[in-house]
Amino acid sequence: MLETVTDGNHKNKSCKRSKDQMNQTITLQTATSEETEQKQTLPAGQHHQEALAFLNSMEGYNLASTLPASKIAGGRNVNASDAHSNNVVIIDQLTSSGSVQMNLKPGDTITFGSIDGRTQKTVTIVGVYTGAVSVDHVGLVLAPTGIVNALSPAKTGAATVTYMKIDAAQVNHALDVIGRLAPNATVQNVADIMASFAQQLNSFLDILVAIASLSMIAGVIIIANSVALAMLERRRELGILKSVGYTSGTVLREILIENGIVGAVSAFIAMLLAAGGVILLGQLLFNLTLSISSWIVIGLVGGSALLAMATAALVAWGAVRVRPLDVLRYE
């Protein structure tokens, strides 16, 4: 998929959506009933610029032919009947559940002003979509193209964005054609963007895997050291057990069960702490609901128990085969 962006001096007949990012004057007005209206102000402090950035990023759609691909969390999506209306859809970050301390909701109105201050448009929020900036959305306030054009009559700060699906073998030819038809267009290959993002993500995951591997090696060493010390301290106990009829296999199984229980309980407590940290981090910083699969929890707890048992078996293998007479003679 290719994304082409042209400035206001060029029009593309196959244009599907327009984006307007303006240094606007914004008035928030929350209508609570037909008789009363409650005005809302932009948040103060560190969230002020963030809220402005969300509101200033407006994306226009030719609703007669193209509808936003949005996951609606409240209200409804804009449709063809809204093509000549002042209805918009906003991102969920601007609602009470967002991170910018806004309280917008379907039914509220927002007044946008153009850069030159000559034009104002009061829009009505009809829906809230969930998600973040992606290849599906350039802006964060989704509106009909008429609103975008009205707020930027001279096309100042406006860009036309066209998405095209092109066969991979024809990409170079398509770039040549676009370069001839729209010399000032900026072309981005979404496939290249996603490949670059995937590469960066894989590099980050490789670092995490390396850190986790080092932690696992350190854990194995700690477990082995603990079992070895326990065997030295329990030499008399092992000798007594073997003198009353316990075999080496029975003693080894007892040690494996002990270490397996310790490993499973430790892993379960660690998973509780990790899950709590992930959930709190997602809600407080990213306003996301993060969860951990129950199968992952079971696998990690079971794997930790098996790792502890395997390490204990390697260390205790020789200790449980000592002769009872040799142990009791020197204890």
How many other CB atoms are found less than 10 A from the CB of residue 17? 21
Residues 6+ positions from 160 with CB-CB distance below 8 Å: 5, 6, 8, 10, 11, 12, 15, 18, 19
Residue 115 and residue 1: Cα distance in Å, rounded? 32
- Residue 204 structure tokens: 């980050």
Closest listed residue to residue 302, CA positions, set 255, 269, 267: 267
Per-residue confidence (pLDDT) for residue 135, from 0 to 100: 54
Contact at 8 Å (CB) between 17 and 66?
A: yes
Residue pLDDT tens, the chain, 331 long = 444 443 433 333 333 344 444 445 455 544 443 444 567 777 777 778 888 888 888 888 888 888 887 788 889 999 999 988 999 999 888 888 887 878 898 999 998 888 777 888 899 999 999 865 455 666 788 999 888 888 876 655 556 777 777 887 888 888 888 888 887 777 777 777 778 888 888 898 899 889 988 988 888 888 788 877 877 777 778 778 878 888 888 888 888 898 889 888 988 898 888 888 878 877 777 666 767 778 888 888 888 888 888 888 888 887 777 777 766 665 5
| Helix, strand or coil, per DSSP, at residue 153 | coil
pLDDT given for residue 1 in this prediction: 46
Q: What is the pLDDT of residue 159?
A: 66
Query: Phi-psi region for residue 239, left (φ > 0), alpha (ψ -120 to 50) or beta?
Result: alpha
